[in-house]
């Protein structure tokens, strides 16, 4: 094939690939990435085999470059897949730090302050109303 034909095929493949990948929803992205990771693993094995059987220095250089690029592609695919799976997992509740010292003494089991630690005594006595009748609003 002529170089112009090969270049045309590559350019068309880039455009078609971009359009296909950009239209994939996030729910389908993770299964597609896991399939692509399997293909990248096969490509990595092939690059290692070619590098092992190469006899000329320039072929060894290109084969080792193919091994490095295939490895980066494979690892990056697993990282992206892992991040996508984290998006769909249930969120873990945040842990609250344990209280110690004086702050612990004024907390109830529900985490609220007890009546003794509040300003003004905390509880209403007999004959008192909670509407603060004497205060201006």
2-47 pLDDT, tens digit per residue, is 889 888 998 999 899 888 878 877 777 767 777 777 888 888 898 8
Average pLDDT of the residues of the chain: 75
The mean pLDDT value for 81-100 works out to 72
Distance CA 29, CA 85 (A): 10
pLDDT category at 123 given cuts 50, 70, 90 is low
**Confidence (pLDDT) at 105:** 54
Question: How high is the pLDDT of residue 12?
Answer: 93
Alpha helices in 23-111 (DSSP H): 26-53, 57-88, 102-105
Q: What percent of the chain has pLDDT over 70?
A: 65
Report the pLDDT value the prediction gives residue 8, as an integer from 0 to 100. 92
Sequence-separated contacts (24+) of 53-58 with Cβ below 8 Å: none
Domain boundaries along the sequence of the chain: 26-88
């Amino acid at each position: 094939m002529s170089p112009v034909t090969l270049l045309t095929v590559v350019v068309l493949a880039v455009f078609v690939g971009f359009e296909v990948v950009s239209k994939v929803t996030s729910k389908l992205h993770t299964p597609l990435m896991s399939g692509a990771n399997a293909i990248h693993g096969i490509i990595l094995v092939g690059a290692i085999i070619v590098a092992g059987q190469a006899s000329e220095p320039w072929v060894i250089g290109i084969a080792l470059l193919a091994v490095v690029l295939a490895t980066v592609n494979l690892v990056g695919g697993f990282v992206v897949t892992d991040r996508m799976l984290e998006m769909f997992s249930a969120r873990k509740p945040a842990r609250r730090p344990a209280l110690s010292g004086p702050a612990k003494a004024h907390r109830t089991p529900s985490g609220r302050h007890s009546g003794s630690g509040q300003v003004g005594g905390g509880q209403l006595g007999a004959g008192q109303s909670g509407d603060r009748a004497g205060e201006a609003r």
